Structure 1
Amino acid sequence: MRDEEAARQSAERMAMMLVDWGFPRMPARVLMAAMTADEELLTAADIGERLGVSPAAVSGAVRYLIQLRMLIREPLPGSRRDVYRLPPDAWYEITALKGALFKVLAGMSDETVQALGEQTAGGRRMATMRDYFLFVEGEMPKLLERWRKHKADNGLD
């Protein structure tokens, strides 16, 4: 049986953990409200009610989450309002989206290595950073493929 108060507190703790990692506060709270909801489709009013904030406070957060592909906006048939839902695999989506960032960071790190010289202390640190991001970028497609296989093998789709 669902314990609403325990679920709300747990969702808030998860949101605050995301905030500690650098995620904006309201988008983190909105994301956790959507993740823990039993309903698949939520309006801004539904989310605001769960969080104790106005629907207007929710609007900026949902725009942010839509840009990250962590929420999908759909029109509510017969209404001027929209509903929001999580994509089928939100965490996969954001991880895949961040893959391009690793390549950019590797390129920028390499530019800095070239400017500093690889034999300087700063150049060596930047070369390590570059090599790390190149490694992560190369491994990410394999890791995401392993996740897809794991989901299929374990009936998580």
Structure 2
Amino acid sequence: MAERAHERDEDAVSRFVERFAGELADAGMQRMAARVFAALLASDSGTLTSAELAERLQISPAAVSGAIRYLSQVHMVGRERDPGSRRDRYRLHNELWYETFTRRDQLLSRWESTLRDGAASLGPGTPAGERVAETAAFFEFLQGEMLSMMDRWRAYQAARREALAATPATAAAPGLAASDTVAAEIAGSEVLASESGAGPHPRATAAREG
């Protein structure tokens, strides 16, 4: 699907792709995977072929393949066949950030269960047992907060889409929906760096209060 180039400043888009890719890489994502993901995010269709990605990012097909493999493994990108063609297209998953957070919740649930078993094995009265039990309690708390946050996001998303539908199309920047920008900033930092135990992204708080 062709991009609407006349509505876009391609240099500005390229700068965004590289800047956001750098932020994702700083948070722990593989650098080339971050660039491919950012390029898909910045495309109007949310889908590009390997050749299109290689051309936009000025990288080799092998580099695209490696990046797609990584993104597929972490469930951030899917593969589909071009109608009437043997070419594959790579697409961002619908509700990407919601699905990512849902999978992270499942991961936290497994961690919590394992940690509680470990705390019992270590003994509740031992320093190690208490440390592991508190870690399990942290993950239990985090799960509850994430589920509550996603419920609030759904309500905010519905209200925002309703408001955007009533405003002129020029209100949003072409080529990259504002909701994608906010979600990318929030989830890019929280999802990829969640193991650090960092607090809520400030844009998430601002979005709920705004």
Please tell me the TM-score bracket, short chain as reference. 0.7 to 0.9
Q: C-alpha displacement at 1:48, in angstroms?
A: 1.3
Q: Please give the alpha-carbon distance, in whole angstroms, between the structure 1 residues aligned to 2:102 and 2:13.
A: 29
Number of residues of Structure 1 aligned to a counterpart in Structure 2: 157
1:141 equivalenced with 2:151 (yes/no)? no
Q: Please give the alpha-carbon distance, in whole angstroms, between the structure 1 residues aligned to 2:25 and 2:129.
A: 32
Q: Single out whichever of 124-133 and 55-64 deviates more from structure 2.
A: 55-64
Q: Which residue matches 2:110?
A: 104
Q: Which residue matches 1:121?
A: 127
Q: Please give the alpha-carbon distance, in whole angstroms, between the structure 2 residues aligned to 1:155 and 1:90.
A: 17
- 1:84 corresponds to which of 86, 90, 99: 90
Residue 77 of structure 2 aligns with an amino acid whose one-letter code is: L
- 1:41 corresponds to which of 40, 47, 67: 47
- Runs of 4+ aligned structure 1 residues displaced above 6 Å come to none
Structure 2: unaligned runs, 5 residues or longer: 1-6, 163-178, 180-210
- 1:65 corresponds to which of 71, 95, 99: 71
Say what the alpha-carbon RMSD is for the aligned residues: 2.1
SS in 1 for 2:161: coil
Q: C-alpha displacement at 1:32, in angstroms?
A: 0.5
Q: Structure 2 length normalisation: TM-score?
A: 0.67
Q: Which residue matches 2:56?
A: 50
Match runs of 1:142-157 below 5 Å: 142-155=148-161
Q: Please give the alpha-carbon distance, in whole angstroms, between the structure 1 residues aligned to 2:94 and 2:30.
A: 22
SS in 1 for 2:15: helix
Structure 1: unaligned runs, 5 residues or longer: none
Residue 149 of structure 1 aligns with an amino acid whose one-letter code is: A
Percent of residue pairs bearing the same amino acid type: 42
Q: Which residue matches 1:21?
A: 27
Higher relative contact order (CA 8 A, sep 6+): 2
